[in-house]
Amino acid sequence: MELLEEHRCFEGRQQRWRHDSAVLNCTMTFSIFLPPAHLTTPPPVLYWLSGLTCTDENFTTKAGAQRVAAELGIVLVMPDTSPRGEDVADADGYDLGKGAGFYLNATEQPWSAHYRMYDYLRDELPALIQSQFTVSGRCAISGHSMGGHGALIMALKNPGRFTSVSAFAPIVNPAQVPWGQKAFSAYLGNDTSTWQAWDSCALMLASQSQDAIPTLIDQGDADQFLADQLQPARLAEAARQTGWPLTLRVQPGYDHSYYFMASFIEDHLRFHAQYLLK
């Protein structure tokens, strides 16, 4: 691992690292915020998954999460949103290819050579974080838009792994909306039965009640993608049917931008802290 940047921030450290990923078959960067070491026990980790077009730096520089993470003693880990590098397949649009990995394992050419963000996030990155930093085994996960989808499927597919999950403006039903349909047909192929394993509405409807974890979603009602791409009410309906403990908050006047996330990230950190620091 190579340290690319380090900054003091709220008495903690904001770092950016480069490492070779065996799973993704390319070099990756991630950012991490390490709170001040004021606690006797190793701090828990909140993974943050970003949306379309983002790198590990959008959340780091725009959300303003570090002050409260420092206060609570939570490590923030921000991975990139896709494999990277000249050898990695890409597409013209902002919603497919680099910056748009959708946190799944691609099965179709040319994507399957590198696009395995699910395995990277499930196995390789947590193992790296555990081995290179002083952290506890407790973790939670959150994200925005495509990253909200990623956080929800990570939690739904890995019962017992996360204490809690939250999302801002998540793509909850990718199999049924244009962003998801474009990405899933490219990465997974046209057999839509394979898509269900990557769709949080389908996963929640198939979940076992003992696997449910506290879930918080914030959605701005002035979000330009709400009607066509997001529709969090569909996940709220799945939660109602299964008894999943989901709180969906609709925030009046907020859009899809990081100004929305900056406004509510403190709530999400304190929400996760209730379970992470138990």
Ligand X SMILES: N[C@@H](CCC(=O)N[C@@H](CS)C(=O)NCC(=O)O)C(=O)O
CB nearer ligand X, residue 170 or residue 214: 170
Q: How many Å apart are CA 60 and CA 13, to the nearest integer?
A: 12
Q: Is 145 a catalytic residue?
A: yes
Q: How far is the CB of 197 from ligand X (least distance, A)?
A: 22
Of the candidates 21, 82, 142, 145, the residue annotated as catalytic is 145
Q: How far is the CB of 93 from ligand X (least distance, A)?
A: 9
Pairing of strands 12-21, 2-9: antiparallel
CB nearer ligand X, residue 156 or residue 230: 230
Q: How many Å apart are CA 273 and CA 28, to the nearest integer?
A: 28
Q: Is 144 a catalytic residue?
A: no
CB nearer ligand X, residue 146 or residue 203: 146
Tokens at residue 162, please? 């996360």
Interacting residues toward ligand X by CB under 6 A: 51-54, 58, 62, 94, 144-146, 256-258
Q: How far is the CB of 63 from ligand X (least distance, A)?
A: 9
Of the candidates 31, 223, 268, 272, the residue annotated as catalytic is 223
Please give the span between the terminal C-alpha atoms of the chain, in angstroms, as a whole number: 32
CB nearer ligand X, residue 122 or residue 144: 144
Q: How far is the CB of 58 from ligand X (least distance, A)?
A: 4
Q: How many Å apart are CA 248 and CA 217, to the nearest integer?
A: 5
What CA–CA distances, in Å, run from 191 to 186, 187, 194, 195? 11, 11, 6, 8
Q: Is 256 a catalytic residue?
A: yes
Phi-psi region of 226 (alpha: psi -120 to 50; beta: other; left: phi over 0): alpha
Active-site residues, by number, are 145, 223, 256
